[in-house]
Amino acid sequence: MRYNNSFSYEFIVAPEVQLQNLLLPPMLIQPLIENAILHGLIVDNRPDAHLEVKLTQGEKKICITITDNGIGLQNRSTIPKRLAGVKEKSMGIESILERIEMINLQNHNNISQFAISSNANGVGTVAVICLPVLLSVVPDVVFTT
């Protein structure tokens, strides 16, 4: 609504992902989606602008992939300053990298990963964040009257 339907979006969740029990650290995915919108999709005014968020799960990790068909990483320097926002450096990406490192140290593994790159077809950006699968244990609740 905020951007007057200037882009379409899609959320794809693999059937094995248990969304109702999945625990994800807060504020790891939101900055990636925000970057895709603010720095990729709305600056170009493309009629086919699209954002996709996909959740897939392996044996020990869940991966969230944010893909857009915006201007891409290689064209970021061509964005007029008035459209790019005030920040010169993305604190969100730096914060994500630090938190991924902390998660790996806490879990004594290197399951958590983060990568951002240009889309394979040269249009847009792909950000992938993988985290260990942590599920909440929700007891069965029985209501009686």
Does residue 58 lie in a domain region? yes
**How many whole angstroms from its chain centre is CA 35?**
9
Whether 31 is in a domain gets the answer yes
Q: Is residue 142 part of a domain?
A: no
Range of the domain at 34: 8-132
| pTM beyond 0.85 | no
Q: Is residue 59 part of a domain?
A: yes
Q: Please state, rounded to an integer, the average pLDDT across all residues of the chain.
A: 85
Query: pLDDT of 72-128, one tens digit each?
Result: 887 655 555 544 444 455 667 889 999 999 999 998 888 999 999 998 887 899 999
Residue 2: inside a domain? no
Task: Give the start-end residues of each E strand in the chain.
Answer: 8-13, 50-57, 61-68, 113-118, 125-132
Q: Give the residue among 67, 66, 68, 61 at the shortest CA–CA distance from 24.
A: 61
User: Would you say 33 and 10 are in contact if contact means Cβ atoms under 8 Å apart?
Assistant: no
On whether residue 139 sits in a domain, the answer given is no
Q: Which CATH number fits the domain that encloses residue 17?
A: 3.30.565.10
- Give me the half-sphere count of Cα atoms (radius 13 Å) on the Cβ side of residue 31: 16
Greater confidence (107 vs 12) lies with 12
The domain total for the chain is 1
In this structure, is residue 90 part of a structural domain?
yes
